[in-house]
Amino acid sequence: MPRSIKQTLSVILRYPRITALAAGAITTTAYAPFHIWITALVGPGLLFLLWLERPHHSLRIGFMYGLGLMGSGVSWLHVSIAQFGDLGWLFPLVVTLGFVALLALFYAALGWLAGFFQASRQLSLILVYPALWVLLEWLRGWFLTGFPWLQVGYSQIDSPLAGYGPLLGVLGISWMALVTVGLLLALANSSRYRVGYLSAAVLIWSAGWLGTKIDWSQPMGDPIRVALIQGNIPQAEKWLPEQLLPSLVLYAKKTKENFDRDLIVWPETAVSAFQFQVDEAFIQPLENTVKNHHTHLVFGVVQMDQAREHYYNAMVALGNEERDQYYKRHLVPFTEYLPLKGILWPLVDLFTIPMSDFSTKQDARPLMRVGDYLAGLSICYEDAFGAEMIEALPEAAFLINASNDAWFGKSLAPHQHLQIARMRALETGRYLLRSTNTGISAIIGPRGEIIAASPLLELHVLKGEILPLEGETLYARFGNLTILALLLLAMMTGFPYSRIR
């Protein structure tokens, strides 16, 4: 090992927990809005080094990395609780720190496993650490309804590794990035097989770059002219009774100004009332006007089953012969539904969150008829779950995500959420229309590229064109099965040469 590397390593190892905390914070800069994707290699690289040199402290080191990553990366949770919960500053801070600590436990578990199964340095770096990491990312994506935020793969949406998205999904991109980290560290730590390590790293990135040139879908019709209406209704005002009429007037006015479009999309719960309350006076006349102009409108509203007293976060399509609708299936804990309701119900009153007891309809696929095509629908947080989004394929000709990120103000969250939506377009090979209340609304291409975007926290109508597409990516066909099989193969290859501590 060169002397300069030894000196650097000595400094890193002198304060392992501080280094791990800093490595986690550095990794946050790989994600939007910073987009310094190379730091998603630097942060985990530092952590891998610490695990190698301090295996007996790997659990605590992993926990500190998790605190650094999540403490900086999901700090926006404090913004939403403090601004809209009317709870002062201390309680939101405690809740945010508790949530960050809970997420950091995944990295603590990862560190414990890394220290428990000790292979040779090279096998640990290339096989064991990356595979364990991505398996924990997969677990975090569904455990307790899942929180897949800040998976490594999202940071690579603009790097050559994005070419693996249509093949292996975001987890596959994570794996390729972390294997690259392992190869480069093995290259620096060994005088043997250096050419092989370097060649493997170059091959991974070259193949990823070539993958970005592949067209996974083909046009199936003429371009569709679209308009996404970003109403910019402040969250603190959105559900006030006196705000309903001004909101409806605003959206109706902007819609009528854009009847030359083939498709107009409003955000999640743009109609801030139960649908039955405004159907006769507002929605029916609007529907007639939409049909007369031979266009289509998709909007968000709350629908109620009055017989069962259940209500649903829904999207409705107007302009077809008959209305179609989609009901949100993956609800957000504590804001859209309450786990252990019988015990924790007082929390709803404490947070003063409107519409916080939604129900779901799990039997439906995320598809909606919009004119001549089927669209894949998701509402807000649902676009963070790629395995659920692909249930709309291969039938869906394009994707629609309606959201309301007004909860998060000018924090990192709206930018990170847009980056997540871009990954869904890449994985499916479809255009994605992202219509939000306060931004960032966007038209996203089938390679995950942003074709056009609205400014944050501004009233804006985003116009553009998309193509209805057909075809199926490997990820859309098999989901996470392929990457999970590869991860298990990597573990099976590395574990026979490991010793259990």
Extract the tokens encoding 343.
Answer: 């015990």
Contacts of 1-8 spanning 24+ positions with Cβ under 8 A:
1/188, 1/189, 2/188, 5/188
Extract the tokens encoding 197.
Answer: 């390590």
% helix, strand, coil for the chain, step of 5: 55, 15, 30
Backbone angles phi, psi at 264, to 5 degrees: -120, 135
- Residue 450 CA to residue 419 CA, distance in Å, equals 10
Burial class (CB in 10 A: 0-12, 13-18, 19+), 90: exposed
- Spatial contact of 403 and 418, defined as CB atoms under 8 Å apart: no
Contacts of 85-91 spanning 24+ positions with Cβ under 8 A:
85/350, 85/351, 85/352, 85/353, 86/352, 87/350, 87/351
Extract the tokens encoding 356.
Answer: 């916080």
DSSP string, 432-494: EEEEESSS--EEE-TTS-EEEEPPTTS-EEEEEEE--EE---HHHHHTTHHHHHHHHHHHHHH
Active-site positions? 268, 328, 380
Backbone angles phi, psi at 218, to 5 degrees: -130, 150
Spell out where 8-130 has E strands.
Answer: 117-118
Helices (H), ranges, 329-391: 341-344, 346-351, 386-389
- Spatial contact of 377 and 400, defined as CB atoms under 8 Å apart: yes
**H or E stretch at 369:** strand 367-370
- Spatial contact of 68 and 20, defined as CB atoms under 8 Å apart: yes
**H or E stretch at 65:** helix 58-73
Task: Tell me the one-letter amino acid at 42.
Answer: V
DSSP class of 222: S
